[in-house]
Each structure stands twice: as structure tokens, then as C-alpha cells.
Chain A
């Protein structure tokens, strides 16, 4: 009996030792450090939201700009769309915010709509709020000879 347990344990140890190098392989692009499956690493800090950024340069025309302010408690549902209360063309002047461009008032057939087009209602689908993080990988996107890496501050 004792011998059987010892053999079993030995086998398990051998299996673990044999398996762990594979589990611990770093991800090829350097995103994940080695050993992250077999061992535990300290979790990265939760990045604070960017409360008041400056408008981030866009990499190329027609790219939705990122949101340069915090969006905490910004209700966005059937009842209310807080983004519209500042960015709707009728509101923007009073709230000193940039108005949405005409593309937001055009449905998918290209017809002008009186109010915001349905496909543009959920702003955060296209415009993302920012957090104070460094991009984990480099960005080698070039547009018209200009390199785009606005987050690597």
C-alpha cells in the first residue's frame, strides 16, 4: 500500500515537473510574461480613469476621436443619453462642447435624420474613454508618413 502511494506521488511529481515548462512559456509577443499559467503573478494595478485629458490627436481622418473626459455615471440607455445632453447640435453651444458631426445625423441609407441616427445612439461603441495606462505593445501604424502613438506619453 505504502509503496503504491509513493509510486503514485512520484508519478504525479514527474508529470508536474514535465508539464510546467510548457505552461510557463511566455506569450510570443511579450504580452504575457513567462510562468503566468503555472505560477501566480501580482495583478496589474487598476488604472484610474482619465478625468480630464486633452483632445487626443487622431491617427487619420474619419477615426472616431477618443473621449477626453471621464464618463462615470453617464447614463446611456433608453431613458436618457447624457452624452447627447452636451454633444447634440442643439445643446453643444450652451454646454461649450464640440457638436457631433453630420455623420451622426445620417441613417445607413445616407438619409438625413432629424434626431441622432439610431446607429449612433450608443456613443461608447465607437468613442472610448481613456485610462492612464501605457500601451502594452508598440504601435507601428503609419498614416501619410506620420506615426501614431498618442498613448505613449
Chain B
């Protein structure tokens, strides 16, 4: 084993005898693209809904709850998928979120929320985390689809117009402050401000 490592190191450190520098540089470049592309493709795959609901916990709870809501079925036929609301579009933040998600894999392996009872018990904590994240980034994921600048208040309902033209326009509140539970059932809301 040790001999093999030494041999391997020698080969690596010896200047190339058979390939030109140009070939090696180009080869490295192509390999880099392949690796990068592969990495991003793999990451994109983990962004698909098929991936998200491949595990039973997500299919039985958040996905089933999403189905009757306006973000799954509505008059315009445009829908939101899990990653639209839960994964940042910006690359650095996306990678950061994916690294955080490794903890969720841990939870999956050990079945932290693998029964409806366990899910319900954890729901408030999980929801709080999403609320905090969206509050901190001024509801960025919502705004990827719903842009304040393009909202036509004249066709909004009276209830919506009254508050969008005041608290939202002034920046006193962000989408998630008023729109909790737009995609899933809410946890026990005792002591949540505004409930």
C-alpha cells in the first residue's frame, strides 16, 4: 500500500513525457467543465420536486398540503415547486442552503419526522426557521415571482390593496409577516405575533 502511494506520488510529480503542455491544459479545462457541470447538474437535480418528495416525510406532509392551495392549483395554471420557495436562486446562497440541508439528510436517516405525530411535533420549529429565513432576506423567494413594482392595486381585492399600499409599500412589513401558511398547514400559532 505504501509502495503504491509512493509510486503514485512519483507519477504525479514527474513532468509529463507523453503529452504536450497545451494538451494537458486543455484536458484540465475540459475536465473542469465536466466536473463543474456535473456538480451543478447534481445540484439542479436536488432542486426538482421529484427529489424533494422522494422521501416519504415530504410527500406525505408538505406536498400533500400544498396540493389544495393556490400555489398548486389556480385559474392561471402557473404553479410553484418546493425549490421556488425554499432554495435561493443566487449560486453562493444556494450552495450554503444545500450544505445546511445535509442536516436534513441526517434527520431522514434517523427518522426524526417519519410519523405524522413526530412531524406535527416538529412543525413549529421547522416553520419558525423558514419564517426567520424569509424575514431576513425580505421574502426574496416570494419576490422572484411576485414583484411589488408590477402589482396592479386596482385589480387587487380591497383587503389586499389596503395593506399592500400601506404597510408593504412603506417597508414596515414583508410578505411573510402577513402571508404565513400560504403553502402548508400552519403549526400551533400560540404566541406568534399577529395570530
Contacts and interface: CB of A to CB of B under 8 A. Distances in A.
To the question of whether A and B form a pair in one complex, the answer is: yes
A72 interface: yes
A95 B179 CA distance: 12
Interface in B172-187: 181-182, 185-187
A73 B159 CA distance: 15
B181 A75 contact: yes
A72 B189 contact: no
B157 A52 contact: yes
Contacts of A96: 159, 162-163
Interface string B63-92: 000001110000000000000000000000
Contacts of A69: 157-159
A73 B195 contact: no
B188 interface: yes
A85 B162 contact: no
A79 B189 contact: yes
Nearest to A91: B194
Chain B CB within 10 Å, residue with most, of A79, A81, A82, A85: A79
Contacts of B157: 51-52, 69-70
A85 B180 CA distance: 11
Chain A's interface size range is 10 to 19
B195 A80 contact: yes
Interface residues of B, number: 17
B158 A82 contact: no
A84 interface: yes
Interface in B145-192: 157-159, 162-163, 181-182, 185-189
A96 B178 CA distance: 13
Interface string B86-105: 00000000000000000000
Nearest to B158: A52
A94 B166 CA distance: 11
B188 A72 contact: no
A85 B70 contact: no
Given A69-B159, A73-B182, A79-B188, A84 B195 contact: yes
Contacts of B159: 52, 69, 96-97
A80 B186 contact: yes
24 contacts: A52-B158, A52-B159, A69-B158, A72-B70, A73-B69, A73-B182, A75-B181, A75-B185, A77-B185, A79-B187, A79-B188, A80-B181, A80-B186, A80-B187, A80-B188, A80-B189, A80-B195, A84-B195, A85-B194, A91-B194, A95-B163, A96-B162, A96-B163, A97-B159
Given A52-B159, A85-B195, A97-B159, 18 more contacts: A69-B158, A69-B159, A70-B157, A73-B70, A73-B181, A73-B182, A75-B185, A78-B188, A79-B186, A79-B187, A79-B189, A80-B181, A84-B195, A85-B194, A91-B194, A96-B159, A96-B162, A96-B163
